[in-house]
Amino acid sequence: MSNTTIRTGNRWTNILINAIITITIGSVLVFIPKTIYLSIVIGIGVVLILSGISLLLYTYNSKQIIVKNKILWYLQSIINLTVGAFLVFQPELVLDFMIYFISVWLILVGVIQLFQAPSQKNIAGNISVILINSIISIVLGVAILIWPTFPLQFVGYIVMLIGIILLYYSFVFYTHRNDVINIPLENEDEFSQK
C-alpha cells in the first residue's frame, strides 16, 4: 500500500452551490405560494445548469481525483444539467410533478453523498454528519415517492435543514481548499493519471 499527496482544491464551490439550491427549494416549499412557483422553478433550473457546468469543468480539469470519485462527480454534473434544462424548458410540467422531482433529486444527492463520504474523511474529519445528511435525504426522498401527498411545508423544512448542513460543509471545505494531504492507496491504478 502506498501514499499519494494531493491538494484538496476548490470543491467547496460545488458544495456551496448545492447548498444554495437545497435551501432555495426548501424555502419555496415553506414560504412561497403556488402562484409564484413557475418563475422560481425556472430560476432553480438556471442555478442547476450553472452548478452542473461548474462541477463538470472542475472534474474535467482536476488531475488528482480518484477515478471512482471522478465518475460520481461526472454523474452528478450530468444529473444537474439534465434536471436544470428540464426545469428551464418544461416549468409547467414540473409544477404538476414537482414533488416527484424533489424526491428523486433528494435520493440522488443522498446516494452520491453516501458514496463520497468515506473519501472526504481526510478533509472534513468527522464524516458522520455527511452520512446522516445523506441517509436523511434518501429516506425523505423515498417517503415522498411512496406518499406524494406528504405535506410540502414539512418537506421544505427538512430540505432547508439538509441545505444548511451542506452550507456548513462548504465552509469546512473552503477552510481546507488548498491543504496538501496524504491519502493511502490500496491500488495505485485507482488514481487517475489524466
SS3 percent helix, strand, coil of the chain, rounded to 5, is: 80, 5, 15
Right CATH number for 10-171 from 1.25.40, 1.10.3470, 2.60.40, 3.30.1490? 1.25.40
Residue found under cell 461526472: 74
Contact 47, 13 (CB under 8 A): no
DSSP class of 36? G
Q: What tens-digit pLDDT sequence spans the chain (194 residues)?
A: 566 655 556 667 777 888 888 888 888 777 776 666 677 778 888 988 998 898 888 888 877 777 777 888 888 889 989 989 988 888 877 766 777 877 888 898 888 888 877 776 666 666 777 788 888 888 888 887 887 766 667 778 888 888 888 888 788 878 877 666 666 666 555 555 54
DSSP class of 191? B
Contacts of 171 (CB under 8 A, 6+ apart): 12
Contact 4, 185 (CB under 8 A): yes
